[in-house]
Amino acid sequence: MTTEFYKFLDEWNELLGLPTPQHHRKIMRFLVDVWNSAPHRGLLMAFRHSGKSTVVGIFAACVLYMRPETRILILSAETTLASRMVAHIRHILENHPRCAALVPTNKKEWAAGRITVNRPIGIREPSVICQGVYGNITGLRSDLIICDDVEVPNTSNTPRKRAELRERLRELDFILSPAGAILYIGTPHAVDTIYSTSADADSAEMLSDAVD
């Protein structure tokens, strides 16, 4: 399965006229390992402008290509930030040669904050939906939750805010499907960063190997 993700990544970069940096392939391998292996929790921290959010968006689009029934929730510190990731995923789906069959003719659910691909009927949630970390997620069900920069100065510049953020993120387990995965992507903004407890130690170690 990892090979298919690599091909998807390479084909997208080729379409853009770009090579695939080696560290992007390593990030993709890490994401696929989290998706495939219990406990399905991962923490991705890499140097600024490394393209980590870019690769995560490509990964999410490939997940939908391979499993169109997947439900993905994008969480960021603010909804506007999360909507950028949704727009990135939508752009890939609209232009990647493998994804033509996923793009619906009726684009009622093909907007800035949510998209729904062609998929089996009977699934209530959108394929991808975004929300601010303190937005309303009650009643949602997700198979993949991507927490993209939930820790920023505005959500973590005091011990109280960090405690509230940790408590909020614990709620994600209640909307995650039994075999679902949670990915954290970001940069620490405090000594006692939430990222020290958001993912298991094994995943953090795997990440270190992935981007060194």
Instruction: Name the H helices within 67-138.
Output: 79-95
The 10 Å CB-count burial string (b at 16+, else e) for 106-141 is: eeeebeebbbbbebeeeeebbbbbbbbbeeebeebe
Domain boundaries, the chain: 2-211
Closest CA to 76 of 21, 18, 134, 2: 134
| Assigned CATH class of 2-211 | alpha beta
| pLDDT per residue of the chain (212 residues) written in tens, 0 to 9 | 689 999 999 999 999 999 999 999 999 999 999 999 999 999 998 777 788 889 999 999 999 999 999 999 999 888 888 899 999 999 999 999 999 999 999 888 898 789 999 998 889 899 999 998 888 888 899 999 999 888 777 787 788 888 888 888 889 999 999 999 999 988 776 667 877 755 443 444 344 444 44
